[in-house]
Amino acid sequence: MWLYLAAVLAGLYLLWRWHRERQMVPRLSEKYVLITGCDSGFGNLLARQLDARGLRVLAACLTETGAVQLRAATSPRLQTVLLDVTSSQSIAAATAWVRERVGDRGLWGLVNNAGIAVPTAPNEWLTKDDFVKVLNVNLVGLIEVTLSLLPLVKQARGRVVNVASVMGRISFFGGGYCISKHGVEAFSDTLRREMRPFGVQVSVIEPGGFRTGMIDPVTVVKGFKQLWERLPAETQASYGHHYLETYAKSTILLHRMSSSCLSRVTGVMAHALLARFPRSRYAAGWDARLAILPLSYCPAWLTDATIGLFLPVPAGAMPTRP
How is the beta sheet containing 32-35 ordered, strand by strand?
A: 79-82, 56-61, 32-35, 109-112, 159-163, 201-207, 281-284
Please choose, from the candidates 206, 207, 204, 188, the residue with its C-alpha nearest in 3D space to the C-alpha of residue 150.
Answer: 188
Q: Is 39 helix (H, G, I), strand (E, B) or coil?
A: coil
d(CA 314, CA 237): 9
- Which position among 13, 32, 177, 239 bears the catalytic label? 177
In this structure, are residues 110 and 146 in contact, taking their beta carbons and an 8 Å threshold? yes
The answer to whether residue 177 is catalytic is yes
How many CB atoms lie under 10 A from the CB of residue 273?
Answer: 27
Q: Is 279 helix (H, G, I), strand (E, B) or coil?
A: coil
- Going by DSSP bridges, is the β-strand pair 109-112/159-163 parallel, antiparallel, or unpaired? parallel
d(CA 263, CA 52): 14
Residue positions annotated with a catalytic role: 177
